[in-house]
């Protein structure tokens, strides 16, 4: 019995330090990140309305910001919420975020939200 235990311990140590072990951590982290993106974007999609109103007002004035900013905020809010739902449903497949900035609070009043045209897997 003792003779079989040594090779088994050696094999488990080799597997522990193998690249597959490192990939398992990366996979779990990527899946967790995607799940977090999904939850956050589903809940905070409504935040696109004030974000777009503020940005449009700063660029083109108060009248334009209150009208066009409101409309674009509603559209981007629906888009952020839907990408969050997609991330929640497909979180088991680690992909790069579809929407940038990936969280609404990143660069809130300086960077316009945009959607990436491709849905790429994480490497």
pLDDT of residue 38: 95
Given a cut of 60, whether residue 23 has pLDDT beyond it is: no
- Domain coverage including residue 74: 24-115
Q: What would the pLDDT profile of 55-110 be if each residue is shown by its tens digit?
A: 999 999 999 999 999 999 999 999 999 999 999 999 999 988 889 998 999 888 88
54: buried, middle or exposed (CB in 10 Å: 19+, 13-18, 0-12)?
middle
pTM: 0.73
Q: Is residue 111 part of a domain?
A: yes
Given a cut of 90, whether residue 21 has pLDDT beyond it is: no
Q: Is residue 106 part of a domain?
A: yes
The mean pLDDT of 36-46, rounded to a whole number, is 95
Q: Is residue 120 part of a domain?
A: no
Q: Is residue 37 part of a domain?
A: yes
* Tokens at 31, concatenated: 């899946």
């Amino acid at each position: 019995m003792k003779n079989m235990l040594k090779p088994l311990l050696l094999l488990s140590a080799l597997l522990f330090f193998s690249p597959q072990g490192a990939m398992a951590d990366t996979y779990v982290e990527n899946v967790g990140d995607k799940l977090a993106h999904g939850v956050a974007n589903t809940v905070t999609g409504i935040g696109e309305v004030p974000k777009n109103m503020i940005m449009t007002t700063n660029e083109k004035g108060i009248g334009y910001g209150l009208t066009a900013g409101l409309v674009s905020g509603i559209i981007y809010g629906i888009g952020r919420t839907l990408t969050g739902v997609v991330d929640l449903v497909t979180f088991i497949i680690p992909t790069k975020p579809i929407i940038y900035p990936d969280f609404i609070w990143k660069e809130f009043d300086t960077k316009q939200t945009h959607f990436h045209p491709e849905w790429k897997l994480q490497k």
